[in-house]
Structure 1
Amino acid sequence: MNRRTFLKRSIGSMLAVVGLGGGTYYYAREIEPAMLEVTREEISSAVIPKGFQNFKIVQFSDTHVGHHYSLDKLKKLCQKINSVTPDLIVFTGDLVDDPDTYNWNSDIVRILSSLQAKHGKYWIYGNHDHGGYGTQTLREVMDKAGFQLLQNSHTSINSSNESIVLAGIDDVMLGKPDLDKALQGTDPDKFTILLSHEPDFAEETLHYPVHVQFSGHSHGGQVRLPFIGDLYTPDYADKYVMGKYILEGGKLELHVSRGIGTTRVPYRFLCKPQFHVYTLKSG
């Protein structure tokens, strides 16, 4: 940790301890985590086929079910997503906070199965899904819920006899990400979207024919203070924390979701949960 980051987190932590008392503490724990935002973005490119004009993609991420995020809240989230009538749904990782101790049952499959999108539902592993946690359990649950895993692989999304590429990599922290493998056999001239749980992987993505990257993982810092910003972000979410980034003059467009749930601490402050609705625009 460099000196600037150390001072930022030290001062921020001190202010948080002083400030998160009384009503502020209640707000950060009980109010803001439930203030779900629907963030709408347009993605415009001459590479997007005309058959995808006004095509809607929903991205949701980091639900962390079990850590102060219940199945009832997940059910309401799915109803909200369905209400925007997406053409495509993507989930960018961290479904359950502790998969190895979570009480798995058919309810979570039933709720995720309720999500509807004409052109399919896709997902990638996050660090909480993977490694020594519950890799295979997660895959079985998502398979039953009708989601297709993109683990160093891609698929073709077709609309009006035209197509775009949707690719996904394995988790950067606990998996074996391989973007060469994920894009193997794709047409580099086609509009390509990459799902990567960790946003800082964009530094690697820049070297490939990818137009847009969707990520989560950061939670936007979860607790943010005026003039200071985020107090903490996990590894591989240091540089790109939340929102939209245009890299190298437009070579890559990166969108980082603040996510839905919480982890480590059950607070959100000046960092509301969100899911994205992206509308593609040709030309």
Structure 2
Amino acid sequence: MSKKKLAVLLGMIAIVSSLIYFEMTHFAPQRVKLRIETVESTRIPASFNNLSIGFLSDVYSHEDNLDKALKELDSFKPDMIVFGGNLFKAAPSEKEQAAMIEKLSTLNAKLGKYAVLGENDIRKANEVTQEVLTQSGFKLISNTKIDVHNFTTESIQLVGIDANNDINKETEFPYPTTSEDLFNITIANNPDNVKEFDDTEVDLMLSGKTMGGYIRLPLIGSITESSDYINKRQTVDETTLIISSGIGLKEPEMRLLSNPDVMIVILKSPEA
């Protein structure tokens, strides 16, 4: 190869490398996408057909991306909103708390707003995060269940799993007793919790934590796996597991082919 061709080749490699670097560190981390998932089941009551659930997770104090996600949710106006954990990256100042409350309070949903805590919430700002979510109109459902009605006698069950279970691994996994007759939606920041359900029937699980794998390469997939479950949607036994790529970032603060997202999950009932 001539020196001229080598110089051109090296120049092209440098340009491509620079573009990939800026994509990973500047563009992709800010490219918040609205993602729509549809879940159909004969166990979904007819009155819940086309019910929409807004799901956001893993903000990590990234207010600019949160603003984009809130704008998407406000445009869609889902019937229910669920937060999947990890609100702050570190213990927030009073100013940061007030700003977060103001933002999250703008969300409205006729069937309510619900939240669970992520591992970062518990390790870095447990009580503060709970207070911010509560003041923003969210109901914490950690390690508990509630029946949700869509203005009829029919209902589905919403179950929340606290990330404390991931921190205190010696404790028994505290999955609440649920009704096998009701369509079950379980919220847990860690998708690996799906392995803990044993004989409990879970129809749909919404999770986060993985950040979409951070850096994904064609034909290879994620090279920074933080979970046994990285794909956006998969079936584990009888459970449909849907994982958000999150809104913000923690270390490493870069993404490639794993844009941040906010989700709308639409329930479909064949009985409707």
- Could you tell me the TM-score, scaled by structure 2's length? 0.87
> Residues of 2 paired with 1:163 and 1:193: CA distance?
11
Indicate yes or no: 2:176 matched with 1:183. yes
> Residues of 2 paired with 1:158 and 1:245: CA distance?
27
| Aligned residue among 263, 266, 271 for 1:276 | 263
Give the fraction of aligned pairs with identical amino acids, expressed as a percent.
30
- Of the structure 1 ranges 122-131 and 94-103, higher mean CA displacement relative to structure 2 is found in 94-103
> Residues of 2 paired with 1:119 and 1:19: CA distance?
50
Q: Secondary structure at the match of 2:34?
A: strand
Q: How many residues align?
A: 254
Shift of 1:103: 5.7
The answer to whether the 8 Å contact 2:86/2:120 transfers is: yes
Indicate yes or no: 2:200 matched with 1:200. no
Counterpart of 1:128?
120
| Aligned residue among 82, 96, 110 for 1:104 | 96
Indicate yes or no: 2:233 matched with 1:244. yes
- The verdict on how the C-alpha distance between 1:257 and 1:242 changes in structure 2, with shifts beyond 3 A counting, is farther
| Aligned residue among 167, 173, 187 for 1:174 | 167
> Residues of 1 paired with 2:139 and 2:16: CA distance?
41
- The verdict on how the C-alpha distance between 1:157 and 1:209 changes in structure 2, with shifts beyond 3 A counting, is same
The answer to whether the 8 Å contact 1:58/1:81 transfers is: yes
- The verdict on how the C-alpha distance between 1:116 and 1:205 changes in structure 2, with shifts beyond 3 A counting, is same
Structure 2 unaligned residues grouped into runs of 5+ = 1-13
The answer to whether the 8 Å contact 2:66/2:247 transfers is: no
> Residues of 2 paired with 1:38 and 1:244: CA distance?
15
- The verdict on how the C-alpha distance between 1:72 and 1:36 changes in structure 2, with shifts beyond 3 A counting, is closer
The answer to whether the 8 Å contact 1:170/1:178 transfers is: no
- Could you tell me the TM-score, scaled by structure 1's length? 0.84
Shift of 1:20: 8.1
Instruction: Output the amino acid matched with 2:32.
Output: L
The answer to whether the 8 Å contact 1:152/1:178 transfers is: no
> Residues of 2 paired with 1:151 and 1:56: CA distance?
22
The answer to whether the 8 Å contact 1:28/1:269 transfers is: yes
The answer to whether the 8 Å contact 2:51/2:267 transfers is: yes
| Superposed CA offset, 1:103-160 (max 9, x none) | 63311101000011110111111011003x2110100000000001111101111013
> Residues of 2 paired with 1:127 and 1:149: CA distance?
15
Instruction: Output the amino acid matched with 1:137.
Output: V
- Of the structure 1 ranges 100-109 and 21-30, higher mean CA displacement relative to structure 2 is found in 100-109
Structure 1 unaligned residues grouped into runs of 5+ = 1-17
The answer to whether the 8 Å contact 1:215/1:256 transfers is: yes
Indicate yes or no: 2:248 matched with 1:261. yes
Over alpha carbons, which structure has the higher Rg?
Answer: 2
Instruction: Output the amino acid matched with 1:174.
Output: I
- The verdict on how the C-alpha distance between 1:99 and 1:152 changes in structure 2, with shifts beyond 3 A counting, is same
> Residues of 1 paired with 2:21 and 2:243: CA distance?
26
Indicate yes or no: 2:218 matched with 1:226. yes
The answer to whether the 8 Å contact 1:169/1:179 transfers is: no
Instruction: Output the amino acid matched with 1:94.
Output: N
> Residues of 1 paired with 2:181 and 2:176: CA distance?
12
The answer to whether the 8 Å contact 1:96/1:102 transfers is: no
Instruction: Output the amino acid matched with 1:197.
Output: N
